[in-house]
Amino acid sequence: MHISFQVETEQGSHQLDTDIQILIVAGWAGRDHAAIEHHIEELAALGISRPSAVPLYYRIASNQLTQASQVQVVGPDSSGEVETFVFAADGELYVSIASDHTDRKLEAHSVALSKQACVKPVAGSAWRLAEVAGYWDELVIRSYIEENGEQRLYQEGPLASLRTPQDLIAGYTDGAAMLPPGSGMTCGTVAAIGGIRPAQSFTMELFDPRRQRTLRHHYQVEVLPEVA
């Protein structure tokens, strides 16, 4: 999947064009086992089975990655999840922000299929991972949804609660420090405030408190009819 990012640095910004051929969703990526168990129980309430391993790496078709501001889903049961998105390009790692948008009804049958059923929105901007790796735990991910005509905070938490990209990459590559060329990985999420639920408007952010900068992406969800 050919995508472009505006890479923002302290020296300015430049466009990075890259092809993502391998797309991975890292699930159950928390550092705190109690928090992981809470998320497992949260999903179990929706009828979703426990994972076979922690963390767990789901391969998703790369054509499911999109930078569109409007996405289409079948049926009313899908929802977004804010995650950092780490990808390899030109021998270097970069970080952006993505949504692991997932069909929750299908998730009760198969997590892997539910993730494949929905596109994965990703922002159009990115940072060099090397610029933030030294204080990664201070970065904050958050998301907002629209409910009853109002924007509500849906998720928020520091990346200190999640495994680092280096840890997740090593788990996927059997110890290597670098993703294979043309690979991108979402790196886990935090719990939904008030519980997992669908919304037709989703805004996600990655906030850097040291440099006072934010990666942000917003998308609208169009629900297509679910017919038998």
The domain that holds 33 is classified in CATH as 3.90.850.10
Residue 13 included in any domain: no
Tell whether the model's pLDDT for residue 160 goes beyond 90.
Answer: yes
- Sign of the torsion angle spanned by Cα atoms 91, 215, 76, 223: negative
State what percent of residues in the chain have pLDDT above 70. 100
Q: Is the pLDDT of residue 46 over 80?
A: no
For residue 121, name the pLDDT band (cuts at 50, 70, 90). Answer: very high
| pLDDT score at 198 | 95
pLDDT at position 31 is 87
Number of domains observed in the structure of the chain: 1
With respect to residue 159, please indicate whether it lies within any of the assigned structural domains. Answer: yes
Give dist(CA 7, CA 15) in Å, integer.
6
The span from the CA of 63 to the CA of 50, in Å, is 27
In a domain, 26, yes or no: yes
Beta bridge partners of 24: 59, 185
Domain housing 78: 2-7+18-224
Mean pLDDT, rounded, for 104-124: 92
- In angstroms, the Cα distances linking 57 to 34, 75, 169 are 20, 26, 10
Residues 79-93, mean pLDDT to the nearest whole number: 96
Residue 165 in any domain: the answer is: yes
Indicate whether 117 belongs to any domain. yes
H-helix segments, 33-164: 33-44, 104-107, 111-116, 129-132
What single-letter amino acid sits at 105? K
Q: Which of 37, 70, 78, 73 is nearest to 54 (CA)?
A: 37
- Please check whether residue 202 lies inside any domain of the structure: yes
- Answer yes or no: is 12 within a domain: no
Does residue 128 sit within a domain? Answer: yes
Does the structure show a pLDDT above 90 at 35? Answer: no
User: Given a cut of 90, is residue 77 above it in pLDDT?
Assistant: yes
CA–CA distance, 218 with 79 (Å, rounded to integer): 14
Q: How many angstroms separate the CA atoms of 218 and 70, rounded?
A: 9
